[in-house]
Chain A
Amino acid sequence: MGLDIRKPIGWLFICLGFLLLGTGLLMPPASYQKSLGINVDFGWGIILILGGIFSLTLSYLAAKKLKK
């Protein structure tokens, strides 16, 4: 249908990941008392970015394979 869903998934996760990562960097450590003192925004942000990159890579490889 002209759209590989892995692309929007990848970009969405990268956007959300950077938003969380940025929040994690800017917020004072006291804000993370709720999450047992762990800066979950930072950690989960990185995981989301990696997930997004993985999804985009799969999409890129699939497009390359199709071209061949």
Chain B
Amino acid sequence: MHLAPIDWIVLAVYFSFVLGIGYFLKRSTRTGNDFFMAGRAIPAWVAGLAFLSANLGAQEVIGMAASGAKYGLATSHFYWIGAVPAMIFVGVFMMPFYYGSRARSVPEYLKLRFDSKTHVFNAVSFGVMTIFSSGISLYAMAKLLIALHICDGPMDVLRIPHSWAFHVSVFISALVVLAYVFFGGLTSAIYNEVLQFFLILAGLIPLVWLGLKNLGGWKSLKAHLPNPAMAHAWMGLSHAHTNPMGVDWFSLTAGLGFVLSFGYWCTDFLVIQRAMAADSMNSARKTPLIAAIPKMLFPFIVILPGLIAIALTPPVSPNASVPISQSAGVIPIKRDEATGRVIRKLDGTPELDYNMVIPALFKRYYPEGLLGLGLTALLASFMSGMAGNVTAFNTIWTYDLYEHYIHPGAPDKHYLWMGRGATVGGILLSIFTAYLAARFNNIMDILQLVFAFVNAPLFATFLLGMFWKKTTGHGAFWGLLMGTLAATLHQGLTLPQGSLPGLSGGWIMSLETYPSLMAQNFWTAIYAFGACFGTTILISLATKPKPEAELSGLVYSLTVAPPAGEQPFFQRPAVLGVIVLILVIFLNFVFR
């Protein structure tokens, strides 16, 4: 992809604003509270958009467009079922405990509510996961820049060999994130996330508009899709074999809509940290509810390009011999990175490289200028994803591990210094992870699986901890371990259709075959949640709970409901939650 000077200028303007914000905020970041918690002074709408953007890494933008091209509008379930209900729940019911307790992080809530072992288990696993995610973000960004040959021009000018493209991409991106998080801490990350949110809109809206215009509108787009069900969110979901995702409505709503979604949006410190930085309890509760409104509309910006791209890509016959330089349509054919050979499915049909949907559409529709803006939007989303992980990591390391277990009682300045050090350390570890990903793809897949197993049962622990006062620390800890074990066993005993035993499952033995990997993942989550829930209850009944006096502000029945304040009726969290719920039900109905 050739970039004109104007495209580079657009990129340069964006980077100067990002760094400028970090530099400006350096002056007002003087205490640990400023650096790690943004001084708890962030207005609800800013926290809300940051809550959304922290999750909006480019893997999400690129991945959802890819999924849209592969599965169609059913991908919107990752938003409408797999995000919005959980965002309403965390805002209305859980935020009072996160914000109202004295906790500065999600793992610290576990320390206050339960005990040190549950705290350390969650803090360590989450800390490692943030580094891993941040490294994957760096790796994915470098791979995209290389695939599009974006750095080739400047590297030629600077006489840097093209084989260094990976190093250049990784180090420059890491340095930019380091600069603005190091100086401005969480405030800088949050402010840049808001900036990035608007940039993503500015970079992607014209793409959808041009694509729809080219195809002749929504009705014509539907007519061009290879399968009419791709324009519907719920068509064929009565059975796993009648839809391209290979899932049925139960595993979708229970696995994705309940366990995975609530497990992520209600317990992941990466997003909760944004709400905990809000300027009041009311703002903190409204943060996820405000985020839910753009979240439910995001399928129209990230999934619709996938539908447009597949509508513009004619089906390829299994026996077509595809020349190396030619693609089937908008979406290029997938090739082996080392040999350049076309990758084919079992029936001989060439595989499409769905991850290239967005760049391919940029190439097709965007002239000079707008192309720079589109690429800026993609880079912005990579960076917001990475910065979110880095700020979560520096807080978990400094407050949850260093202050509690390594060096307690030091002055605030010391922890501020440690936070900045952890930012540098976190970025260095992310760079290391990016290289690890580039070298050993399998290690990354294994790590991703391990984290999925650790995360799957987490919501059961929080649900019981917040809403059942008899839950004990032993119950929570062993529940988490049993949930992780159940997830591991389930994955080791089942296999998605068409896969060989190994990382995809069945590495113990194959007792059951699921129609798709997605179905297997949803059921793994359901079993993990069930095992954690059951074990936590059983062990809690057999062990002694904390005295009620220690649980005030941490458990629902022992906490006074936060006052509604003087805000208008429709701005109250519960009312907002109902409005958001009605809107998302409406969207599901319209696109059923």
Which residues of A come within 8 Å of B, CB atoms?
1-3, 5, 8-9, 11-13, 15-16, 19-20, 23-24, 27, 31-32, 34-36, 38, 40-41, 44-45, 48, 51
Residues of B contacting A23 with CB < 8 Å?
A: 6, 368-369
Residues of A contacting B25 with CB < 8 Å?
A: 1-3
Whether, in the assembled complex, B2 has its beta carbon less than 8 Å from a beta carbon of chain A, the answer is: no
Majority secondary structure, B binding face = helix
The reply to whether B13 and A44 contact each other, CB–CB distance below 8 Å, is: no
Q: How far is the CA of A15 from the CA of B373 in the complex (A)?
A: 12
Least CB distance from B544 to A in Å reads 44
Which residues of B come within 8 Å of A, CB atoms?
6, 9-10, 13-14, 17, 20-21, 24-25, 27-28, 34, 38-39, 41-42, 46, 187, 191, 194-195, 198-199, 202, 206, 210, 213-214, 364-370, 373
The reply to whether B367 and A8 contact each other, CB–CB distance below 8 Å, is: no
Residues of B contacting A35 with CB < 8 Å?
A: 210, 365-367, 370
The reply to whether A34 and B366 contact each other, CB–CB distance below 8 Å, is: yes
Known: A34-B364, A41-B370. A8 touches B46 (CB 8 A): no
Residues of A contacting B42 with CB < 8 Å?
A: 1
Q: How far is the CA of A16 from the CA of B200 in the complex (A)?
A: 13
Question: 4 additional contacts, CB 8 Å, given A1-B187, A2-B25, A44-B202?
Answer: A8-B21, A15-B13, A19-B10, A51-B202
Residues of B contacting A44 with CB < 8 Å?
A: 202, 206, 370, 373
Known: A5-B195, A19-B9, A40-B210. A48 touches B364 (CB 8 A): no
Q: How far is the CA of A59 from the CA of B154 in the complex (A)?
A: 38
The reply to whether B198 and A13 contact each other, CB–CB distance below 8 Å, is: yes
The reply to whether B38 and A31 contact each other, CB–CB distance below 8 Å, is: no
Residues of B contacting A34 with CB < 8 Å?
A: 364-367
Partner of B20, one of A2, A8, A48: A8
Known: A19-B9, A40-B206. A31 touches B367 (CB 8 A): yes
Known: A19-B10, A35-B210, A40-B210. A3 touches B21 (CB 8 A): yes
Least CB distance from B191 to A in Å reads 5
Residues of B contacting A31 with CB < 8 Å?
A: 367-368
Q: How far is the CA of A3 from the CA of B24 in the complex (A)?
A: 8
23 contacts between A and B (CB under 8 A): A2-B28, A3-B24, A3-B28, A5-B46, A5-B194, A5-B195, A8-B17, A8-B20, A12-B14, A12-B195, A16-B10, A16-B13, A20-B10, A20-B373, A24-B369, A27-B368, A32-B367, A34-B365, A36-B214, A40-B367, A41-B369, A44-B206, A45-B369
Least CB distance from A29 to B in Å reads 11
Least CB distance from B260 to A in Å reads 32
Least CB distance from B4 to A in Å reads 9
The reply to whether B367 and A9 contact each other, CB–CB distance below 8 Å, is: no
The reply to whether A20 and B369 contact each other, CB–CB distance below 8 Å, is: yes
Partner of B6, one of A11, A12, A15, A19: A19
